[in-house]
Amino acid sequence: MMTPNLIDAFRNQDVILAFIAKIQNLAQQLPPPLRPLNIMEVCGGHTHTLMRYGLGTLLEPALNFVHGPGCPVCVMPKLRIDQAIALACMPNSIVVTLADLIRVPGSQASLQQVRAQGKDVRFVYSPLQVLQIAQDNPSKKVVFIAIGFETTTPMSASLIQQAQKRQLNNLFFHLNHVLVPPSVRAILNSKHQIHALIAPSHVSVISGAKIYAPFVQEHQLPVVVAGFEPVDMLEGIYMLLKQVLEGRTQLEIQYSRVVSMQGNLRAQNLVGEVMQPRAFAWRGLGEIPFSGMGLRPRYANLDAEIVFKEHLPQTARLDHKLCLCGDILKGVLKPLDCSLFGTACTPTHPIGACMVSSEGACAVYYRYSKPMP
């Protein structure tokens, strides 16, 4: 007899169908001005769940899901990729990053392509592997291209502290950590109408659900932090609909088995010791104040943007004129609106970053809803 998987209950077909029926019943009660109800799922993990299990299709047309900018690989602008490539092209250098990033196109190439040309570009699954690479290559300049939202920032902060403690003078950091709230605020401040938010769960484990409170207060939006399993997400949608129909705008946590309102205070303090907020240019959204994280001045000797400033380009080419990745990240368009989707732009030949990561909206659509030829 097989031992049940811990997540089986959160993928149970009967529970899923029961939630869908309850949601459909509530959706029929929405007033005409709120049909369809535009719900933004901020994180690419939720987009993946929607498409993999066909939830969006089952809940149309009363509900319309707007895909948000919650894919760290997707929001990386070309300039940051160009800078990573420039670092890889320096003599005696090793560039290390996470797997998906090596395939993101820059202005002229990707890290994967310069790796094929002989540059030492490596990918790791744990940032802590970077320490070993630096120790094993004392004569090389090792640069870690760090990416991710609040979820992965503490790992980078810990890595930076350990590098300093071990006096690894050949290890440097090119930080591309970004924050969820400023990007969502930029979208909410635009003309795009969002009625409710499904907030990311893994980010909230670190930051706490409290970071979404301003969206409730400033924009009068219902917000629910939901898990990524289909039952979790459906319960989150049900909770949002209940708020809308009852005239409430509150911040609620569906994923309470993991997420708290305050989050992981130890991780937050660690990040605060090593990094500080700064402006960051997002793909599709442009430069947003205080939306990224940079190293504090006392770590300047580890900051690749300072140490190797003369090697780094400061401008990049514009995206392909037909690529709609920027508008997709803003929730203005969907992947099937793009003329390049599934033809010129595929996971094996991505033109835009949204087709690279498994959490990118275009990659998810390609996998689960690519039109038949």
Supply angle C-alpha 179, 155, 285, rounded to 5.
20
Local mean pLDDT, 10-residue blocks, the chain (373 residues):
73 96 97 96 96 94 96 95 98 93 93 97 92 98 98 97 96 98 95 93 98 97 98 98 98 98 98 98 95 98 98 90 93 95 94 92 91 47
Query: Can you tell me the distance from the alpha carbon of 256 to that of 254, in angstroms, rounded to the nearest whole number?
Result: 5
Question: For the whole model, what pTM was predicted?
Answer: 0.94
237 domain-assigned: yes
Q: Are residues 114 and 45 in the same domain?
A: no
Q: Are residues 161 and 223 in the same domain?
A: no
Query: Can you tell me the distance from the alpha carbon of 171 to that of 140, in angstroms, rounded to the nearest whole number?
Result: 9
Q: Are residues 139 and 202 in the same domain?
A: no
Say what the pLDDT of residue 261 is.
98
Q: What is the DSSP letter of 312?
A: S
Q: Are residues 191 and 148 in the same domain?
A: no
51 domain-assigned: yes
288 domain-assigned: yes
5 domain-assigned: no
Q: Are residues 128 and 204 in the same domain?
A: no
Nearby residues of 315 by Cβ (< 8 Å), 6 or more positions away: 79
| Residue 65: closest CA among 27, 36, 106 | 36
Q: Are residues 166 and 43 in the same domain?
A: no
Q: Which domain holds residue 302?
A: 78-179+263-311
Structural domain total, the chain: 3
| Residue 155: closest CA among 124, 123, 128, 179 | 128
Q: Are residues 215 and 226 in the same domain?
A: yes
86 domain-assigned: yes
Q: How many CB atoms lie within 10 A of CB 29?
A: 11
Q: Which CA distances in Å does 54 have to 42, 127, 206, 240, 246?
A: 18, 34, 29, 19, 27
Q: Are residues 150 and 130 in the same domain?
A: yes
Q: Are residues 174 and 187 in the same domain?
A: no
Query: Can you tell me the distance from the alpha carbon of 101 to that of 143, in angstroms, rounded to the nearest whole number?
Result: 14
Say what the pLDDT of residue 344 is.
95
290 domain-assigned: yes
Q: Residues 181, 212: contact at Cβ < 8 Å?
A: yes
6 domain-assigned: no
343 domain-assigned: yes
Q: Which CA distances in Å does 317 have to 41, 78, 254, 311?
A: 30, 7, 42, 17
Q: How many CB atoms lie within 10 A of CB 298?
A: 10
Say what the pLDDT of residue 4 is.
65
CATH number at residue 124: 3.40.50.11740
Q: Which CA distances in Å does 297 have to 158, 166, 274, 294, 301?
A: 17, 19, 9, 9, 9
CATH number at residue 230: 3.40.50.11750
Query: Can you tell me the distance from the alpha carbon of 159 to that of 274, in angstroms, rounded to the nearest whole number?
Result: 10
Say what the pLDDT of residue 270 is.
98
Q: Are residues 208 and 233 in the same domain?
A: yes
Q: Are residues 175 and 239 in the same domain?
A: no
| Residue 192: closest CA among 219, 155, 218 | 219
What are the strands of the beta sheet with 171-177, ordered from one edge? 121-124, 93-98, 141-148, 171-177
Q: Are residues 173 and 186 in the same domain?
A: no
